[in-house]
Amino acid sequence: MRLLDFDVKTRYKAVVLRSERLTPEDSKEDVRDISIEVESHEFDAVVGQNIGVLAPGQAELGQEFHLRLYGIADLPKTSSDGRKQITICVRRCSYIDQYSGEEYPGVASNYLCDLRPGDSLTITGPYGQPFKVPEELDANLILICAGTGIAPFRAFVKYLYKERPDFRGRIKLFHGGQTGLDLLYRNDEKDDFVLYYDRDTFEAIDALSKRPGWTGASGWGTAMQERAGQIADMLSDPKTYVYVAGVERIRHELDEVFWAVTGLTEDWSRKKEKLVEEGRWVELLY
């Protein structure tokens, strides 16, 4: 679904409650954990959904707004007066013009990263619920993410362990990045996942790039091949779900890795197609 296809007629005013940098000050990457409060009591959102942010558009181009989607990165809260409070994870980014070769700042990401507590913004949604919480209390989850793709899984795992105390399935979280600083919510600044490290059923695994700039293959292969037997065993269980979030380029990398680590005699594309049909392989890539 294209961004142009999203319904943005229903809009809500929100105010920034907190904007916290997740990456160290000396890092070239500026990634922020931003909490907002929606003014309308009619707005509601749940774990697994996205919100749309309407950043100011370029008036000279007749652009009213610039729409971007962000996954809910924490358990939604409700204020004392009934207003919904949600958190998103935003990386300040830029892009290279494919024709001129010039670098330009990303409109929505820079707009959001520049906001400070008390500033107002306009949002839409919520949209979709790509990563559904399995009904089975013994369901297994293979969560694969790169960079800010970890945001929806942060909320997802929190929900499972806080709201479903009887959940006993295995969770393997593979988090890819260029360096340890990219392991958002798992670095020295804010390591939320450390709360679950003492659980025998939970494991967070680094999949760091072996080359600067992430121009080559990432660390998916090494991280997953070391656990090839466990992954193959989990995939053979009809109660195992694979959820993938992050940049689109990891799709091809993961297909190659899964072909290798599962050791399947059948075509991996057919196996994956079956998982997709059964709702047990879900991707949210951008």
Each residue's pLDDT tens digit, 68-127: 889 898 889 999 999 999 999 898 988 776 677 777 788 899 999 999 999 999 999 998
Kindly tell me the burial class for residue 38, based on how many C-beta atoms sit within 10 Å of its own C-beta (0-12, 13-18, 19 or more).
buried
- For the whole model, what pTM was predicted? 0.78
Which of 252, 227, 231 lies closest to 241, judged by CA?
231
Q: How far is CA 135 from CA 112, 171, 225, 235, 272, in A?
A: 35, 15, 29, 17, 21
| Residue 120 and residue 13 in contact, taking contact as beta carbons nearer than 8 Å | yes
Q: Which residues of the chain have pLDDT under 50?
A: 180-181, 189, 197, 211-217
Q: How far is CA 166 from CA 4, 139, 158, 169, 240, in A?
A: 41, 11, 13, 9, 17
Percent helix, percent strand, percent coil in the chain, to nearest 5: 30, 35, 40
Rg for the chain, CA atoms, rounded: 19
Every domain of the chain and the residues it spans: 3-127, 140-285
Kindly tell me the burial class for residue 40, based on how many C-beta atoms sit within 10 Å of its own C-beta (0-12, 13-18, 19 or more).
middle
Cα four-point dihedral sign 26, 152, 136, 272: negative
Summarised one tens digit per residue, pLDDT across range 233-242 is 999 999 999 9
Which H or E element spans position 270?
helix 268-277
Structure tokens at 265: 């005699």
Cα four-point dihedral sign 259, 265, 266, 272: negative
Cα four-point dihedral sign 45, 49, 183, 21: negative
Dist. CA 170–CA 218, nearest whole Å: 24
pLDDT recorded at residue 27: 76
Q: What is the CATH number of domain 3-127?
A: 2.40.30.10
Kindly tell me the burial class for residue 259, based on how many C-beta atoms sit within 10 Å of its own C-beta (0-12, 13-18, 19 or more).
middle
pLDDT recorded at residue 201: 85
pLDDT recorded at residue 181: 47
pLDDT recorded at residue 216: 42
Strands in 72-164 per DSSP E: 77-78, 84-91, 94-96, 103-105, 120-127, 140-146
Structurally, at CATH architecture level, domain 140-285 sits in 3-Layer(aba) Sandwich (3.40)
Contacts of 74 (CB under 8 A, 6+ apart): 35, 86, 87, 154, 155, 158
pLDDT recorded at residue 143: 93
Structure tokens at 77: 């809260």
80: left (phi over 0), alpha (psi -120 to 50) or beta: alpha
The C-alpha torsion from 122 through 32 and 4 to 129, rounded to 10°, is -90
